[in-house]
Amino acid sequence: MKLITTHDRSFQKELHKILTRANLDMASVTPVVQEILQEVKERGDEALLAHVARFDGWTPHSIRDLMVDPDLMVEAYAKLDEELRDALNIAFQRIEAYHRKQLPKSWLDFEANGTVLGQKVGPVERAGLYIPGGKAAYPSSLLMNAIPAMVAGVEEIIVTTPTPNGQINDLLLAACYLCNIRHVYRIGGASAIGALAFGTQTIPKVDVIAGPGNIFVATAKKLVYGEVNIDMVAGPSEIGILADESANPVYVAADLLSQAEHDEMASSILVTPSRKLADRVAQEVERLLEQLERREIASTSIRERGAIIVVDSMEEGVAIMNQIAPEHLEILTANPFALLPHIRHAGAIFLGSQTPEPIGDYIAGPNHTLPTGGTARFYSPLSVEHFLKKSSIIAFSSEAMEELGWAAAALARAEGLQAHALSVEVRLKDRP
């Protein structure tokens, strides 16, 4: 694993590489994605059937072959071993409880002059969830995307997931059953995003698309934004760790690898003022790599996009980590809560040696769909609010119009919008 210090001549160059990790080559795949989206928009179900045969290695004979029978979800849940079923239910309950606390309320404010101002909060009618199914299947992503939509009150949830060679993960189906999802389609990639965004003869158009995916999925989501809303354009997974000399090097190494095994493009960064810890972690990473089934993926990630940065002080380390703005940030120090007020940018913050990032992936409760590539500077985790929309409420009485209308008319005329001013002034003139 690459080890650098802030005094190395190459430090600024290496830091720049970390900060620009989000520069995915979307331009190279955009023409292909645009073509796929256009085909889905024009040909609907016919295009979906052709794309599944082309990309997923199996040939559906009709659109019904792309529909997952809800009975399969019931069967998948029923045949889970007891331990796994219990784990799935614990995750569901904790995620739901956390997201219920996020629900905003509608409100009305009555002013003395008869003005009523307020906000009406309500769910979108239909949400589309993209759940990866290529290199690995992620039932946890189904829970993390479906539960906030359910809590928001979304009436209809549509799930799409790729099924290489026609195979679908039983645990994903069990999670769908637990979330009472009835509409699951065996479609992946940009085709699925197109189907959700534009609708087809079979799949209805949704209002919001959420869920992670590869560069083709991310590019497709970016291109259909405006046709529908999206959660975010997320890139490969990443972890940043702030650690001092008190940290256990085995813990740190394991946590770095927890993200590296996701994808060759995943990023794992340790920042520490302890050279001793840095050296030990580098050794432990190499030792633990040999134990992983996905070691080829993890080793490529660690080699090409991983780094250990040795700083002069924890203050300097915090400043660098705020520049990086990682998707996941672990603070493994003697007093992690002391650093919390100084963290400005991170998707999720994990405090203390007993809080590894995978706890957040599965059962802690907060959402694991997080901003990547430094976008934690302005994006937030997926939440109930992604599936809600708000309407402003305004009601003026005659008294309020008489008291305040002149100000609106004056501002309208100053902007050169005569009809705007007139709309107010005719009411002011119409006083007895």
Q: Supply the pLDDT for residue 280.
A: 98
pTM, 2 dp: 0.93
Cα–Cα distance between 9 and 364 in angstroms, integer? 41
pLDDT of 328 above 60: yes
Residue 148, SS3? helix
Q: Please give the biggest Cα pair distance in the chain.
A: 87
For residues 47-63, one letter each, b for 16 or more C-beta atoms within 10 angstroms of the residue's C-beta and e for the rest, the string is bbbbbbeebbeeebeeb
On whether the CB atoms of residues 113 and 130 are closer than 8 A, the answer is no
Cα–Cα distance between 424 and 432 in angstroms, integer? 16
Residue 242: closest CA among 308, 165, 192 = 308
Spell out the residues 6+ positions from residue 402 whose beta carbon is closer than 8 angstroms to its own: 428, 431
Cα–Cα distance between 207 and 225 in angstroms, integer? 10
| Mean pLDDT calculated for residue range 182-205 | 97
Domain ranges of the chain: 3-23+235-364, 26-104+124-230, 396-429
- What strands, in cross-sheet order, belong to the sheet with 3-5? 3-5, 306-310, 267-272, 238-243, 328-332, 348-351
Where would I find the beta strands (DSSP E) of 163-310? 183-185, 208-210, 229-230, 238-243, 267-272, 306-310
Q: Supply the pLDDT for residue 432.
A: 59
Kind of pairing between the strands at 183-185 and 238-243: unpaired
Q: What is the CATH number of domain 3-23+235-364?
A: 3.40.50.1980
Q: What H or E segment, with its residue span, contains residue 52?
A: helix 45-55
Q: Which CATH architecture has domain 26-104+124-230?
A: 3-Layer(aba) Sandwich (3.40)
Q: Supply the pLDDT for residue 166.
A: 87
Q: Supply the pLDDT for residue 330.
A: 98
Chain segment 74-84, per-residue pLDDT in tens: 999 999 999 99
pLDDT of 58 above 70: yes
Tell me which residues are annotated as active site: 327-328
Chain segment 335-393, per-residue pLDDT in tens: 999 999 999 999 999 999 999 999 999 999 999 999 999 999 999 999 999 999 999 99
Same fold, 3-23+235-364 and 26-104+124-230: yes
